[in-house]
Structure 1
Amino acid sequence: MTNLELLSISIALALDASGVSFSIGFDKKINRTNAKWYIFSFAFFQFLFSFIGGFCGSVINKFFFRIPNYTGGIILIILGIFMILGLFSKNENINVMKWYMIIVLGISVSIDALLVGFSVFYSLSITYLFIYSSLIGLVTAILSAISFNISRYMKSFPLIQSKSDLISGSILIIIGAKMIIF
Structure 2
Amino acid sequence: MVFHSLFIIAMALSLDAFGVALCIGLNNSVKTKDRVLFAGSFGFFQFLFSILGAYTGFLFNRYIASVPSIIGGALIAIVGIMMLKEGFENKDECPVIKPGMVIILGISVSIDAMVIGFTTLHNVGNKFVILNDTIFIGAVTLVVASIAFFIAKYLKRIEIVSKYADYIGGIILVIFGIKMMFF
Q: Please confirm whether the aligned pair reaches a TM-score higher than 0.5, indicating the same fold.
A: yes
2:96 aligns to what SS in structure 1?
coil
Structure 2: how far apart are the matches of 1:22 and 1:111?
A: 19
Contact 2:79 2:96 (8 Å CA) reproduced: no
Contact 2:27 2:94 (8 Å CA) reproduced: no
Superimposed CA distance per residue, residues 161-182 of structure 1 (whole angstroms, 9 cap, x where no aligned partner): 1000011101211221221123
Structure 2: how far apart are the matches of 1:9 and 1:140?
A: 11
Superimposed CA distance per residue, residues 105-160 of structure 1 (whole angstroms, 9 cap, x where no aligned partner): 00000000000000001122211111000110111011100000101111112111
State the 1:93 CA deviation. Answer: 7.8
Structure 2 stretches lacking a partner, 5+ long: none
Identity %: 36
- Between the two proteins, the alignment pairs up a number of residues equal to 182
Contact 1:72 1:176 (8 Å CA) reproduced: yes
State how 1:1-182 maps to structure 2 within 5 Å. Answer: 1-90=1-90, 95-124=95-124, 125-182=126-183
Q: TM-score, normalised by structure 1?
A: 0.95
Structure 1 stretches lacking a partner, 5+ long: none
1:161 aligns to what SS in structure 2?
helix
Q: Over aligned residue pairs, what C-alpha RMSD do you find?
A: 1.4
State the 1:96 CA deviation. Answer: 1.4
Structure 2: how far apart are the matches of 1:38 and 1:91?
A: 22
Contact 2:54 2:121 (8 Å CA) reproduced: yes
**Greater shift after overlay, 171-180 or 8-17?**
171-180
**Greater shift after overlay, 116-125 or 104-113?**
116-125
